[in-house]
Structure 1
């Protein structure tokens, strides 16, 4: 674990070392995007109407903060083996740890965005309550999801070179299907379509963070979604681990 933390800190610094603002871009980029989405969807389309009893801005920020982290961690982890396999092949280092390193390296920006979310919430009347402790469960669930997807996606990206490009397109689509900008439950979507959208594991995390901070429910109150989410994580981790152990000795040759 110590090696993972040290390498993740190094990767954070190396990513922006040639930029004038350096690591500041880790935080400026999502803040610029939040401002754009709020102006377009909050002010333009919804005319500032509240959602789930709070203003659109805090509602959106609470959901978009874990999404930014999940999106970037998913894409970075998917190319982790492809980028580093030649380096780790020359030393004793577990290749399976590379996706986890990418997940951990993105945590610094996630914590900053969560602090920003809490600050925006406090300014808009979202005050601490007992349900806030529930975020610990959803944070654990989010990390498990990202590690499982990282193991699977990183292996497939080596086997199929076009997979990472396909994954980028899929993540753009999932952004609008994860409830980040819209509340599917309160809109005019038919019930079967809403249930189909709820199968999305990213939706489970985004809506879970909102439920925790807004105080609209507990994870045990939606047992079917929770079972579906953890079943998905287990299956993805199982398949990803199988592919990884099957092809890890050939990663260098494949690349």
Structure 2
């Protein structure tokens, strides 16, 4: 019997943050600030969106082939399965956002006008993740090994986005090509009250261009192969 229930959805990420804080904040950085911000609020403000992105990408990728047996004999739009799975993960994300606001308030970072960026960031995250889900859910149904590859890529992306460290110079320019970089820094800007989103509007245009391309490719791949999904199960 589980006594904590939904609280486990919050306790697990909090325990992970505690470990990351100890290893990277005290062990590697020796308690030094990043851009004048204490490591813990800097870490929390960036990693919160990762706790939504990572499971959303891996879970939506297997959403079709894990449920195709339930909907194969009924008239059911398969493209809604990744959307349903994605939206079902939002409730934990909202809970972690509330916890983050409370924690950051202890460090002097209070909600303000910059908090309204959260609406834009949520729309941006869901748009990217759904575009990816259309593509990956179709491909992993056809080639099941891609699920394992995707999980390995997400483990690498955890360290190739500015969650534990702040890249500079040409390394930063290269890593910014990853659209997840924009989301992590966008959330950090929203929580800490900086103007990063406004000052880097060019990367915002690049981000939405990537989203549109992924949606176009993903929707076409999904529509082309969905009639054959049941044959790959």
TM-score, with normalisation over the residues of structure 1? Answer: 0.87
Match of 1:69 in 2: 52
Which structure carries more relative contact order (alpha carbon 8 Å, separation 6+)? 2
Q: Is the 8 A contact 1:131 1:218 kept in 2?
A: no
Distance in structure 2 (CA, Å) of the matches to 1:253 and 1:201: 33
Gaps of 5+ in 2: none
The structural deviation recorded for 1:219 is 2.5
User: Which residue among 21, 26, 32 is the counterpart of 1:43?
Assistant: 26
Q: Is residue 161 of structure 2 the alignment partner of residue 205 of structure 1?
A: no
Match of 1:160 in 2: 143
Distance in structure 1 (CA, Å) of the matches to 2:22 and 2:230: 47
Match of 1:232 in 2: 210
TM-score, with normalisation over the residues of structure 2? Answer: 0.95
Matched residues, number? 233
The structural deviation recorded for 1:19 is 5.3
Q: Is the 8 A contact 1:54 1:126 kept in 2?
A: no
Match of 1:181 in 2: 164
RMSD: 1.5
Moved more, 45-54 or 90-99: 45-54
Gaps of 5+ in 1: 1-17, 186-190
Moved more, 111-120 or 43-52: 43-52
Partner deviation per Cα, 1:59-94 (whole Å, 9 max, x = no partner): 111111110101011110000001001111122221
Match of 1:8 in 2: none
User: Which residue among 90, 96, 99 is the counterpart of 2:79?
Assistant: 96
Q: Aligned ranges for residues 1-255 of structure 1 at < 5 Å?
A: 21-185=4-168, 191-255=169-233
Cα distance change on mapping 1:130 and 1:20 into 2, 3 Å? closer
